[in-house]
Amino acid sequence: MSAEPRELGELRRRAGEIADLSGIGGLLLWDQNTMMPPGGADARADQFEALERIVHDRLTDPELGRLLDALEPWAASADPDGDDAALVDNLRRDHHKAVNVPTDLAAEISSANAHAQQAWMAARENSDFKLFQPALERVLELTHRYVACFDGTSQFAHPYDVLLDDYEPGLTTEELRGIFVTIQQELVPLVSAAAAAGEHGRVFPGHFPQESQNALAQELLAAVGYDPEFWRLDASVHPFARSMAHTDVRLTTRWEEDDLAMAFYSCLHEFGHGLYEAQMDPRHYRTTLAEATGLGVHESQSRLWENLVGRSKPFCEWVLPVLRKHLNGPFEAIEVPELYRNVNQVRLSLVRIEADETTYNLHIALRFELELALIEGHLAVKDLPDAWDEATHRLLGLETTSLKEGVLQDIHWGAGMIGYFPTYTIGNLMAAQLWRALSAELPDIDASIAAGDFRPLREWLRDNIHRQGRKYTSRQLLQRVTGEELRVDPFLEYLEGKLLDAGLLTEPVRVPRS
Amino acid sequence: MSAEPRELGELRRRAGEIADLSGIGGLLLWDQNTMMPPGGADARADQFEALERIVHDRLTDPELGRLLDALEPWAASADPDGDDAALVDNLRRDHHKAVNVPTDLAAEISSANAHAQQAWMAARENSDFKLFQPALERVLELTHRYVACFDGTSQFAHPYDVLLDDYEPGLTTEELRGIFVTIQQELVPLVSAAAAAGEHGRVFPGHFPQESQNALAQELLAAVGYDPEFWRLDASVHPFARSMAHTDVRLTTRWEEDDLAMAFYSCLHEFGHGLYEAQMDPRHYRTTLAEATGLGVHESQSRLWENLVGRSKPFCEWVLPVLRKHLNGPFEAIEVPELYRNVNQVRLSLVRIEADETTYNLHIALRFELELALIEGHLAVKDLPDAWDEATHRLLGLETTSLKEGVLQDIHWGAGMIGYFPTYTIGNLMAAQLWRALSAELPDIDASIAAGDFRPLREWLRDNIHRQGRKYTSRQLLQRVTGEELRVDPFLEYLEGKLLDAGLLTEPVRVPRS
């Protein structure tokens, strides 16, 4: 083993500062979406911009480049599973990506995104796309300028690849096109068979006051592993999770008194994200290793808790008495098979975050198609509402009824996150693959869940996924844990299997592909 | 008028960045004391340290020094009432103060303060000074090192002056000694006469649920000028106000169901602080001019709303029906004269933030004496609890009953704020002087307050104090508005006058000093 070079200490110091600044950025973002008075938005945009300038300057610092160059020979011969070699590798990738982008542009993007987010909120509240259009055009213009920064490099085959790489490093447009073709081909018949057969009432019928929902959420979260010493839960328009450190994890949810499923599943979903952050290896604190390796993996964690756990039969067995305890009325008359059926019912709907697990990826296919068209220049922002409605009709067979349930339903584009949506589908696919692997290693997992014991699952995820942080790429991690590449079939098989098991399909629909 | 030098643009850019970072620091602090899960404390200390390093590096940047030098001849000949000359002057003072302090020390102080604050909380909760002692010793050691950074300069006559200058620029130990001698001499007889004559019940008798108190606070704050578009109110152990910008002002209060006075007066007090921040001139946003000129002036604003407004007869006239509306029971049986008497009653007590207006400054005299002894080296941290109890007996004639009501009652020392307490007394003195000036200019002020119309007062404060920001020093500002230097007599005369008016004194006690 090679001796530790003296540059490593300085590299760690720099990684520590970048991690601290990233934690601060997390707080700015969390606060903006939960606590900040509306009038504070402009000042917050300035603060984001100031922070972004500093982080970008740190990442592009020529001195960092020299340190990385000096460490390269050592890293090449060091243990590839060692932490320090991974730190060098991560910082080299971040440095190389950042140096292509001028600091002024990075700062402009940060500020424009903060403004567009506020414009999106106003447009949504007033059902007026025009209030959002100029801000989104600005975001798109800056996105094009960002993509153009990589024109001279050979790293990316497609402009959209530049964006994907920010969220799921190494993911390509070509790969995604193939995935979405398969998904559309396979999901459309599955959805129509199940939607025709299934019920069409609400997942959880009834009106439940926010207080009761909150008491339920607290018990639910405590059971799965939420610890108030290190976590908190608040309300926001768009549920999300953000951590300032592995010891400071913030979840948000949305309380809808006529739609318990919103808080119930968003709490489980955001818990999955939060647990990934909370179970990072404390030894990696203040390094790039205490970060998610990609948002696809991040999303696999939220989907796993929301769907593979939260909509499973054993979970229904455990949770029904909890529902009965906190929410009088409708749950007395329901038994496990009905609950299991209800929470898995297939029902075409307009809003992505209210979509069931089966139709969900069609919502992502729609967004992938539209944002790709925006980036390729086939679609102008002003035509986006019509394009949205057309795609909704074509992919979901539904007519859009309002902007809030249409093109203005998601915060992402307004927050500058173009290329982000596909990670949701990647997460769904990975979650199914991971579940196969963990079921094989934890044969009693169903019994544990039915008994409300989530510790074996948490520990498996911690040891196999969370603790690794950014030490391996998503592909490497998936390969290590499942022995496989990213695949669509395990997800489709899981979906169909559950629909059959829950009585929502009477016979198989899919023709197994070779 | 001299043409604008080209360096001014760059100076403004730098001031803007420093202002953005200061807003971010405000958020870190606000969040730490309101929202952060307890386990996040260590990471927050790292984040404070990272931010402090950056701010300190910006302030001590030699390039800033060169810009200031280049601008000096222009500033010397520019309009002394002009904004830009004031900006140059402020940044020069900040730069000169910062360059004496190594960045590592500034960062260490920031981190030690964050840790000591958590230690204070733990010590307070467990009633164990030993849990706080090492952290406070560390704070004191770093404070001594900080003071020693100015050894070679001729700016400060006393080590404690270095600290005072951070909170109230230009305030000196010598001046404060004189002020506190007078205050003690004059207050002790006033307090004993009034305490002997007055009632000794609670200010607001009764048990009031948090919800009712909150509804009352919302109405009260809305009436005085709190605007939810730009402000928010939360709970914290220690009420405080902090702004991230003039458009993002955060107040906190403490809900004590058996002590309505806590929330009632802390809301008014923190509102006064918040209004100073909210009414900064928007033209000065992102410059050093949109800052308080000193914490004495800041405190004069909070005291003015808490005491000169909030404990006045016209305010009692306006607020009694509001109290009756939100809090059933005891207020039905009370009339204005009794309310006015109750809220001004003099009652020696152990806890500063529960102290009445008359005894309040004796609590500050105690802290000034002790922290001066700590800085001069006559007192060791380990002996602080005994020294506290002794001084409490000597100055207030009371025996300390617990650490929570004794040496552990205040967050300040744990937050590294040594030299801060005297600004509370300065604020009380200034508030009385400002009230005289504003009463002369607003002869109908009592009638406005009695009618619940606080606009004339807000506007007078905005135009005379708030909009000036840091354009003038505290002394200059006081001189401009009142034509006077800082004086003790107006405060003492106001106090005695009110006690007589409210029937809490039957005859004058003070012998007017020549």
CB B374 within 8 A of CB B392: no
Q: What does the alpha-carbon distance between residue A20 and residue A244 come to, in Å, rounded to a whole number?
A: 8
Instruction: At A255, list the tokens.
Output: 């309380």
- Per-residue confidence at A255, pLDDT binned at 50, 70, 90? very high
Asked if A24's CB is within 8 angstroms of B50's CB, the reply is yes
Q: How many CA atoms lie within 13 A of B52 on its CB side?
A: 23
Per-residue DSSP letter, A420: -
Does any CB of chain A come closer than 8 Å to the CB of residue B28?
Answer: yes
Q: How many CB pairs under 8 A join A and B?
A: 111
Query: Who contacts A6 (Cβ-Cβ below 8 Å, separation ≥6)?
Result: none
pLDDT for the residue B354: 87
In SS3 terms, B167-203 reads as HCCCCCHHHHHHHHHHHHHHHHHHHHHHHHHCCCCCC
**Beta-bridge mates of residue B248:** B245
Q: Identity (one letter) of the amino acid at A381?
A: V
- Per-residue confidence at A181, pLDDT binned at 50, 70, 90? very high
Residue A32 C-alpha, separation from nearest chain B C-alpha, in angstroms: 11
Nearest C-alpha in A relative to B13: A50
Q: Identity (one letter) of the amino acid at B2?
A: S
- Cα dist. B431→A17, A191, A445, B437 in Å? 43, 71, 68, 10
Instruction: At B365, list the tokens.
Output: 């005299």
Q: What does the alpha-carbon distance between residue A289 and residue A172 come to, in Å, rounded to a whole number?
A: 23
Could you give the angle at the alpha carbon of A11 between the alpha carbons of A8 and A15, nearest 5°?
Answer: 135
DSSP H helices in B327-454:
336-342, 360-376, 384-396, 422-441, 445-450
pLDDT for the residue B200: 58
Does any CB of chain B come closer than 8 Å to the CB of residue A27?
Answer: yes
pLDDT for the residue A384: 98
Instruction: At B204, list the tokens.
Output: 């607001």
Closest CA to B54 of B24, B91, B96, B88: B24
Task: Tell me if residue A248 falls in helix, strand or coil.
Answer: strand
DSSP per-residue letters across A315-332: HHHHHHHHHHHHS-SGGG
- Per-residue confidence at A198, pLDDT binned at 50, 70, 90? low
Per-residue DSSP letter, B154: S
Q: What does the alpha-carbon distance between residue A442 and residue A460 come to, in Å, rounded to a whole number?
A: 8
Q: What does the alpha-carbon distance between residue A193 and residue A508 come to, in Å, rounded to a whole number?
A: 10
Mean pLDDT across chain A, nearest whole number?
95
Does any CB of chain B come closer than 8 Å to the CB of residue A46?
Answer: yes
pLDDT for the residue A2: 55
- Give the residue with greater pLDDT, B182 vs A201: B182
Residues across chain B? 514
Does any CB of chain A come closer than 8 Å to the CB of residue B278?
Answer: no
Cα B482 to chain center, whole Å? Answer: 21
Q: What does the alpha-carbon distance between residue A433 and residue B399 come to, in Å, rounded to a whole number?
A: 68
- Per-residue confidence at A27, pLDDT binned at 50, 70, 90? very high
CB A417 within 8 A of CB A142: no
pLDDT for the residue B196: 80
Q: Please give the helix or strand (H or E) that residue A466 lies within, else none.
A: none
Q: What does the alpha-carbon distance between residue B253 and residue B306 come to, in Å, rounded to a whole number?
A: 13
Residue A23 C-alpha, separation from nearest chain B C-alpha, in angstroms: 7
Strands B241-245 and B248-253: antiparallel
Q: Which residues of B touch A280 (CB under 8 A)?
A: none
b/e sequence A323-354, b meaning 16+ C-beta within 10 Å: beebbeebbeebeeeebbbbbbbbbbebebeb
Query: Who contacts B347 (Cβ-Cβ below 8 Å, separation ≥6)?
Result: B195, B198, B200, B356, B359
Query: At residue A201, does pLDDT exceed 70?
Result: no
Does any CB of chain A come closer than 8 Å to the CB of residue B509?
Answer: no
Does any CB of chain A come closer than 8 Å to the CB of residue B49?
Answer: yes
Does any CB of chain B come closer than 8 Å to the CB of residue A235?
Answer: no
User: In chain A, pLDDT over 90 holds for what percent of residues?
Assistant: 90
Q: Which residues of A touch B16 (CB under 8 A)?
A: 46, 50
CB B285 within 8 A of CB B270: no
Q: Which residues of B touch A227 (CB under 8 A)?
A: 39
Mean pLDDT by 10 residues, chain B (514 residues): 82 97 97 95 95 96 97 90 92 96 94 91 95 97 97 91 96 97 94 78 86 97 98 94 97 96 97 98 96 97 98 98 91 93 93 92 97 97 98 95 95 94 98 98 98 98 97 96 97 96 92 66
Could you give the angle at the alpha carbon of A324 between the alpha carbons of A319 and A328, nearest 5°?
Answer: 150
Strands B248-253 and B231-235: parallel
CB A87 within 8 A of CB A11: yes
Q: Identity (one letter) of the amino acid at B490?
A: P
* CA-based torsion, A196, A197, A202, A205: positive or negative: positive
Angle between helices B422-441 and B360-376 (to 10 degrees): 140
Nearest C-alpha in A relative to B43: A245
pTM of the predicted structure, to 2 decimals: 0.94
CB B457 within 8 A of CB B449: yes
Asked if A38's CB is within 8 angstroms of B229's CB, the reply is yes
Average pLDDT of the residues in A221-246: 96
Q: What does the alpha-carbon distance between residue A154 and residue A150 come to, in Å, rounded to a whole number?
A: 8
The region of weakest confidence among A158-172, A488-502, B201-215, B449-463 is B201-215
Closest CA to B83 of B294, B301, B297, B282: B282
Query: At residue A170, does pLDDT exceed 70?
Result: yes
Q: Which residues of A touch B35 (CB under 8 A)?
A: 35, 232
Residue A34 C-alpha, separation from nearest chain B C-alpha, in angstroms: 11
DSSP per-residue letters across A107-152: HHHHHHHHHHHHHHHHHHHTT-GGGTHHHHHHHHHHHHHHHHTTTT
**Phi-psi group of B197: left, alpha or beta (phi > 0 → left; psi -120 to 50 → alpha; rest → beta):** alpha
Residue B226 C-alpha, separation from nearest chain A C-alpha, in angstroms: 12
Residue A241 C-alpha, separation from nearest chain B C-alpha, in angstroms: 14
Which residues of B belong to the active site? 270
Q: What does the alpha-carbon distance between residue A167 and residue A253 come to, in Å, rounded to a whole number?
A: 23
Q: Identity (one letter) of the amino acid at A373?
A: A
Cα B139 to chain center, whole Å? Answer: 21
Nearest C-alpha in B relative to A246: B40
